[in-house]
Chains A and B, each alone.
Chain A
């Protein structure tokens, strides 16, 4: 009997005993649901962390020369904090020194940031991230200026009080007004709005559009950084492959500038997206390690249930087996029939599990800020596991069926 024939027979048997079939495949269903849902969510988190979180806060093939990490996941001890605070801050001079000594093609931007309030007329936008930087910053952050323009190198050199604002600042502060050319006030100082950046969306539910960018040395600089001091020098290499090289050059330059002896710890920090993701990597690794255990347990249980159901099916259908044998079914035909039935049953459970797992992942995606991304390999693994569990669980009952004596089987009730 061809496999196709056996699958059709199996589907018919499953259809005629819907409820029983459903209960017998619950184990496999749960196992595969787990697999798909967890993998989708972890995968989604992964992508989110890399694409949105790290690349939004640091940027692709970008690193920052800083006093201390600004993105730190995991535990920070009091000693670490104390050490970080004792470090000298990054000065304009440090930044220029490093910039001169990096031979790798790269783009640089001095960077300072703090929370401020911006006023226009009677309105006020609170908790806006005011960023003091250079004209290169827009390219590094991939900011698209949708209205007006970004500021130029000349405006940075001239330290003009111009401002490019985020989408939410424009909507809150200047609703229904063309923001371009308007004069807003930060800490009492006047700034002219010259551009608006395209909406950046949210990160874990927080807006990424509450910011304003000005030249780092513009009049209001003292609001965000002390004179001559920077939060970071941002370095973006033109080629992702040159990141390591540029970082090595930056480290060497900083060490020589700070006159650190060999063996002395760095008193500065090079922050990368990957580095910030280190802790998340550990978490996702643990999840991926625990996952096979969870899935295995439910699949083993599912397999035992299916084996039991198949043993019952064999004894219930002894007569059918006798009839089939009398009509010319060989051992291997009966064996194939029951193994395929078991595999089909289990595969049906796996398919339902995939559906349920995907549904679960999408519910999580819809109801929480957590994203979900379906990993095609997890769907394939789900189907494969389902079929394998069915085959393994079906072999013993099927071989019992195939060895029945047709005379005895025909007499069974």
Chain B
């Protein structure tokens, strides 16, 4: 299988006053298409930085990042915005929906920035919501939806532009165990349908759903193994 993500000797360094902090140290990693991978690690291990770099929200200080055949580590802000729009679907712990917009409008948002016309946007956003089973809640605002429903809206939004990778940051962190289970089933189904899923989490039982678990510690890959209970 071809690699959708290839990271080579990637380093991200922050300066806090006179102090240099190495959040990622020469990390090398390859993620293949249709992989379901969990990135774990204790706080301070660099997993948030990893998430930001993988999501093209941040750029590395050194090293290479190839996403879907394109070197993206040296791109300008606007070029990165384009990459985020086309290649990456974000799912956040806190959902990050626009509170004043309906579910449908939230899902349409990536298409607005992709320059898709209104009619097509509505159709595609409607289809994405159908995929996560929320057709009937299309015209509700986030505060009229439960946590699980909000996260499904966020997943629909992440999927609507058919991204290369679905990047989820603690997707069940704000959900109870029953709802978490539902969301994990959605991820499993998406993976089964061919979607590449990258999930950042600190919960072992959530990470266990992935095929492959990468553990970071002190900005380096501590272990990279195929999970025992990989999802079907």
Q: Are B78 and A1 in contact (CB under 8 A)?
A: no
Which residues of A are found within 8 Å of B161, using beta-carbon distances?
Answer: 328
Interface residues of B in 61-101 (CB under 8 A from A): 77-78, 81-82, 84-86, 90, 92, 96-98, 100
**Least Cβ distance of A385 to chain B in Å?**
30
- CB-CB under 8 A from B86, the residues of chain A are 328
Closest residue on chain A to residue B110 by CB atoms: A327
Q: Does B157 count as interface, using CB distance less than 8 angstroms?
A: yes
Check A328 against B114 for contact (C-beta < 8 Å): yes
A94 to B197, CA, bound (A): 108
- Is the beta-carbon distance between B78 and A324 smaller than 8 angstroms? no
Please name all residues of chain A whose beta carbon is closer than 8 Å to the beta carbon of B96 when the two chains form the complex: 319, 322-323, 326, 410
Measured CA separation A306–B78 after assembly (Å)? 28
Report the bound CA distance from A323 to B110 in whole Å: 10
Task: State the CA gap A320–B98 with chains docked (Å).
Answer: 6
Q: Is B109 an interface residue (CB 8 A)?
A: yes
Number of interface residues of B (CB under 8 A): 26
Is there an interface contact between A5 and B112, defined as CB atoms closer than 8 Å?
yes
A406 to B77, CA, bound (A): 10
In the bound complex, how far is the Cα of B173 from the Cα of A144, in angstroms?
90
Q: Using Cβ atoms and an 8 Å threshold, which residues of chain B touch A320?
A: 98
Q: Which residue of B lies closest to A8 (CB)?
A: B118
User: How does the 8 Å CB contact mask read for A323-341 relative to B, with 1 for contact and 0 for none?
Assistant: 1111111111100000000
Chain A residue numbers with a CB within 8 Å of B85 are 327-328
Minimum distance in angstroms from B105 CB to a CB of chain A: 9
A381 on the B face (CB < 8 A): no
Q: Are A16 and B81 in contact (CB under 8 A)?
A: no
Task: Give the CA-CA distance A57 to B161 in the complex, in Å.
Answer: 76
Q: Shortest distance in angstroms between B146's beta carbon and chain A's nearest beta carbon?
A: 20
Residues of chain B in range 41-73 having any CB-CB distance to chain A below 8 Å: 52, 55, 57-58
Whether A407 sits at the interface, judged by CB under 8 Å, is yes
Residues of B within 8 Å of A323, CB to CB, are 96-98, 109
* Whole-angstrom CA separation of A333 from B115 in the bound complex: 11
A324 touches B58 (CB 8 A): no
Q: Are A327 and B78 in contact (CB under 8 A)?
A: no
Q: Given contacts A319-B96, A407-B52, A407-B57, is CB(A327)–CB(B109) below 8 Å? A: yes
**Are A16's CB and B100's CB within 8 A?**
yes
Given A327-B90, A328-B86, A410-B96, residue A333 in contact with residue B52 (CB < 8 A)? no
- In the bound complex, residues from chain A placing their C-beta under 8 Å from that of B84 are 325-328
Would you call the interface of chain A mostly helix, strand, loop, or mixed?
A: helix
In the assembled complex, A12 has its CB within 8 A of some CB on chain B? yes
User: Which residue from B78, B115, B118 sits with its C-beta under 8 Å from A332?
Assistant: B78
- State how many residues of chain A have any CB contact under 8 Å with chain B: 22
Tell me which residues across on chain B come within 8 A of A333, comparing CB atoms.
Answer: 81, 113
In the bound complex, what is the Cα–Cα distance between A145 and B186 (angstroms)?
92
- Are B113 and A331 interface neighbours, CB within 8 A? no
Question: What is the distance, in angstroms, from B66's C-beta to the closest C-beta of chain A?
Answer: 20
Q: Is the CB of A330 within 8 A of B78?
A: yes
Would you give the 0/1 interface string for B136-163, flagging 1 where the beta carbon is closer than 8 Å to chain A?
0000000000000000000001000100
One digit per residue, 1 when the CB lies within 8 angstroms of any chain B CB and 0 when it does not, for chain A 154-190 equals 0000000000000000000000000000000000000
**Is A406's CB under 8 angstroms from B113's CB?**
no
Question: Which of A5, A327, A406 has the largest number of chain B CB atoms within 10 A?
Answer: A327
B38 CB, min distance to chain A CBs, angstroms: 21
Indicate if the CB atoms of B82 and A330 lie closer than 8 Å: yes
Name the residue on A nearest B117 (C-beta): A2
Partner of B58, one of A319, A322, A407: A407
Separation of A319 and B81 alpha carbons in the complex (Å): 16
State how many angstroms separate the Cβ of B151 from the closest Cβ of chain A: 14
| Contact call A326/B90, Cβ cutoff below 8 A | yes
The answer on a CB contact under 8 Å between B100 and A331 is no
Q: Which positions 296-347 of chain A face chain B at CB distance < 8 Å?
A: 319-320, 322-333
Question: Is the pair B92, A410 in contact by a Cβ cutoff of 8 Å?
Answer: yes
Asked whether A406 and B57 contact (CB < 8 A) given A326-B84, A331-B78, the answer is yes
Q: Contacts of A319 on B, CB cut-off 8 Å?
A: 96
Give A2's nearest chain B residue, CB to CB: B115
CA distance A75 to B109 in the complex (A): 69
Alpha-carbon distance A324/B98, docked complex (angstroms): 9
Closest to A334 in B: B81
A227 → chain B, closest Cβ, in Å? 88
Q: Are A329 and B57 in contact (CB under 8 A)?
A: no
State whether A1 and B113 are in contact (beta carbons under 8 Å apart), knowing that A325-B81, A327-B85, A328-B81 are contacts in the complex. Answer: yes
Within the complex, the shortest CB–CB distance from A334 to chain B, in Å, comes to 10
**Which chain A positions have C-beta within 8 A of B82?**
328, 330
Task: List chain A residues, Cβ under 8 A from B57.
Answer: 325-326, 406-407, 410
B81's partner among A322, A329, A410 (CB-CB below 8 A) is A329
B100: which A residues are within 8 A, CB to CB?
12-13, 16
User: Which of B140-196 touch A at CB < 8 Å?
Assistant: 157, 161
Please give, as numbers and ranges, the residues of chain B lying within 8 Å of A1 by CB-CB distance. Answer: 112-113, 115
Question: Taking CB as reference atom, which chain B residue is nearest A319?
Answer: B96
- List residues of chain B with CB within 8 A of the CB of A330: 77-78, 81-82, 113
What are 27 sample pairs from A and B whose C-beta atoms fall under 8 A apart? Answer: A5-B112, A5-B118, A13-B100, A320-B98, A323-B98, A325-B57, A326-B84, A326-B96, A327-B110, A327-B113, A327-B157, A328-B81, A328-B85, A328-B110, A328-B113, A328-B114, A328-B161, A330-B77, A330-B78, A330-B81, A330-B82, A331-B78, A333-B113, A406-B57, A407-B57, A410-B57, A410-B92
Beyond known contacts A323-B109, A326-B90, A328-B161: 19 more, CB 8 A cutoff = A1-B113, A12-B100, A13-B100, A322-B96, A324-B109, A325-B57, A326-B55, A327-B90, A327-B110, A328-B84, A328-B86, A328-B110, A328-B113, A329-B81, A330-B78, A333-B81, A407-B52, A410-B92, A410-B96
